[in-house]
């Protein structure tokens, strides 16, 4: 989609046997940041193979009015299926002002999430769920968020970055990102529900990780149940590199019960150094919002959002979702 910024893709094999990517997009006529927080919408693209190429199919969760909790923005899709039902977890938000547009954009290039509109949009981020019996829809969006902030706690400002692990009985372990104030370090929390529609209850009142270094923080979790190891495993983004040894690379963690988590002795899950199918290598400025495609109970492909700038999306002119086949 050459006229759009594209981010955070999640892929599933549909009932038609093809591969469907749910991703976020917003117009390139607006700067990448902070307009991901004010203008993103979730779309679907389709391919014959996991590796693509993917062709745009439709807008799945468009803006629907500022009166809805997710009425202005949908972002961070992660798609799953259980018992014949497709589950699309996502982040939504809203604000009363007109949405920024190329013709009227009060949030100029170089602005940050501290601009009044984008700050409001970020503070109102909540996790939601849309369901459908078909990958083609129609999608039933939740009337209310499935997980909201806890007043007075570490996650009192917003909840975002949903990372659900869906069990065969429809119950869910949900990892999420949150902060208590606008400039807090990013932390991860955990909740569970007896059914994917809820109710969701936190397993603990503190973040699942607190690191020794005060500037170490994380985001973009993805969690799954390893049948072979009989435990939960998770990959997540290392914001500064102090945990896995590489800035913006992936951390690998595990848990027996979903509540108490441990970093592997070899913590690096993936690097920003990418080897292309022609044998060349590049170091990507971004490799974010990692998602796995699982087939026959085994992760087979890693999807991650990336950009064409070695310095990350702030100076990028193009963004896309990269797919990396995993070794047997």
Q: What would the pLDDT profile of 60-96 be if each residue is shown by its tens digit?
A: 999 999 999 999 999 999 999 999 999 999 999 999 9
A 10 A CB-CB count for 123 gives: 17
pLDDT of residue 136: 99
| CATH superfamily of the domain spanning 165-271 | Glycosyl hydrolase domain; family 43 (2.115.10.20)
Query: Do 129 and 87 form a contact (C-beta atoms < 8 A)?
Result: yes
pLDDT for position 296? 87
Lowest mean pLDDT among 149-153, 159-163, 307-311, 316-320: 307-311
pLDDT at 113: 83
**What residue ranges do the domains of the chain occupy?**
1-145+285-328, 165-271
**Per-residue pLDDT tens over the stretch 162-217:** 999 999 999 999 999 999 998 888 999 999 999 999 999 999 999 999 876 667 88
Give the per-residue pLDDT at 212.
Answer: 64
pLDDT tens digits, 9-59:
999 999 999 999 999 999 999 999 999 999 999 999 999 999 999 999 999
Q: Identify the pLDDT of residue 88.
A: 99
Tell me the pTM: 0.97
Q: What is the pLDDT of residues 264-307, one digit of tens each?
A: 999 999 999 999 989 999 999 999 999 999 998 899 999 999 99
What's the pLDDT at 112?
75
Whether the Cβ atoms of residue 103 and residue 70 lie closer than 8 Å to each other = no
**Mean pLDDT of all residues belonging to the chain:** 95
Percent with pLDDT over 90 in the chain: 88
pLDDT, residue 320, reads 97
The pLDDT value recorded for residue 110 is 64
Sequence-distant (6+) residues with CB within 8 A of 278 are none
Confidence class for position 140, pLDDT limits 50, 70, 90: very high
99-103, 109-113, 258-262: the lowest-pLDDT one? 109-113
């Amino acid at each position: 989609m050459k006229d759009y910024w594209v981010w955070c893709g999640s892929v599933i094999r549909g009932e038609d046997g093809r591969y469907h990517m749910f991703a976020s997009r917003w117009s390139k006529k607006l700067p990448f940041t902070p307009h991901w927080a004010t203008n993103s919408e979730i779309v679907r693209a389709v391919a014959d193979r996991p590796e693509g190429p993917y062709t745009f199919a439709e807008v799945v969760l468009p803006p629907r009015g500022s009166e809805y909790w997710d009425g202005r923005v949908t972002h961070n899709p992660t798609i799953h299926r259980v018992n014949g039902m497709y589950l699309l977890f996502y982040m939504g938000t809203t604000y009363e002002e007109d949405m920024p547009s190329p013709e009227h954009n009060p949030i100029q290039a170089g602005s940050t999430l501290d601009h009044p509109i984008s700050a409001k949009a970020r503070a109102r981020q909540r996790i939601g769920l849309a369901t459908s019996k078909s990958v083609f829809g129609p999608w039933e969006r939740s009337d209310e968020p499935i997980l909201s902030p806890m007043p007075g706690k570490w996650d009192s400002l917003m909840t975002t970055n949903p990372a659900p692990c869906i069990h065969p009985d429809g119950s869910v372990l949900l990892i999420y990102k949150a902060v208590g104030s606008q400039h807090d370090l990013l932390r991860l929390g955990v909740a569970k529900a007896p059914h994917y529609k809820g109710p969701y209850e936190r397993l603990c009142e503190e973040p699942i990780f607190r690191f020794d270094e005060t500037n170490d923080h994380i985001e973009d979790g993805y969690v799954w149940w390893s049948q072979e190891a009989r435990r939960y495993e998770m990959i997540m983004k290392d914001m500064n590199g102090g945990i896995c040894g590489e800035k913006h690379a992936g951390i690998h963690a595990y848990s027996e019960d979903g509540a108490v988590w441990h970093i592997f002795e070899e913590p690096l899950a993936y690097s920003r150094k990418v080897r292309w199918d022609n044998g060349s290598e590049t170091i990507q400025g971004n490799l974010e919002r990692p998602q796995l495609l699982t087939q026959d109970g085994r992760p087979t492909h890693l999807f991650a959002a990336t950009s064409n700038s070695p310095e990350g999306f702030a100076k990028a002119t193009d963004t896309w979702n990269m797919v990396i086949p995993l070794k047997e």
